[in-house]
Chain A
Amino acid sequence: NAGVMQNPRHLVRRRGQEARLRCSPMKGHSHVYWYRQLPEEGLKFMVYLQKENIIDESGMPKERFSAEFPKEGPSILRIQQVVRGDSAAYFCASSLAGGENQPQHFGDGTRLSIL
């Protein structure tokens, strides 16, 4: 499968635990975007990364959330000390190049549930 791969598909955490969401972009893509989607709502931009660099994190909460895209391996979205309000679907997308004129291809998402 050469598409965007996200894992896990479903993740359940208790309040206060940490959640780690992984995203492997399409082959050849070095630009990764993370979005959050609440039920029946649109996609909210969180962060845009290019290999080893955070390009734009204006949509990501300043506390408890962090993202990385190391030279080797998948991009990771990390949520520390999760709260009920973090429950959502988190989608990753990748593009061949950066910029708004590039199509973004989405993974199947990780559905995070906080107990």
Chain B
Amino acid sequence: QQPVQSPQAVILREGEDAVINCSSSKALYSVHWYRQKHGEAPVFLMILLKGGEQKGHDKISASFNEKKQQSSLYLTASQLSYSGTYFCGTGNAGNMLTFGGGTRLMVKP
């Protein structure tokens, strides 16, 4: 069963913040975050492993709550280049990832 992402879509003005959530009905061992621009390959952003850790680089960070079986991606002071569809992929102690349906983010000037 695929993880549920929310919101499905969000529109921001440059400089605004956004949070994208990813929830799973199964126990999570890892969460991967990717960004995909239209017609392009998904680009790896970060991976979080179980343990409630938080990671980040530049103005994009993420948290992983193992008990709640969810992860959140935080985008602060958004830039035009942040536009795209964000996918979370969840690992459930196997080899494969199960991806959510995506969150479409549009950043306007």
Contact = CB atoms under 8 A, between A and B. Distances in A.
Contacts of B42: 43, 91, 106
Interface string B86-99: 01010111111111
Contact of A100 (B40, B93, B101): B93
B96 A56 contact: yes
Contacts, number: 66
A43 B43 contact: no
A38 B96 CA distance: 19
B84 interface: no
Interface residues of B, number: 26
Contacts of B29: 100-101
B107 interface: no
A45 interface: yes
Given A105-B44, A109-B41, A42 B101 contact: yes
Interface in A54-76: 55-56, 58-59
Contacts of B18: none
Interface string B27-67: 00110101000001111100101000000000000000000
Contact of B99 (A43, A102, A105, A107): A43
Interface range for A = 20 to 34
Interface of B: 2, 29-30, 32, 34, 40-44, 47, 49, 87, 89, 91-102
Closest 3 pairs (CB-CB, A-B): A100-B91, A106-B41, A43-B99
Interface of A: 4, 33, 35, 41-45, 48, 55-56, 58-59, 91, 98-109
9 contacts: A42-B100, A42-B101, A55-B95, A100-B30, A103-B44, A104-B89, A108-B40, A108-B41, A109-B41
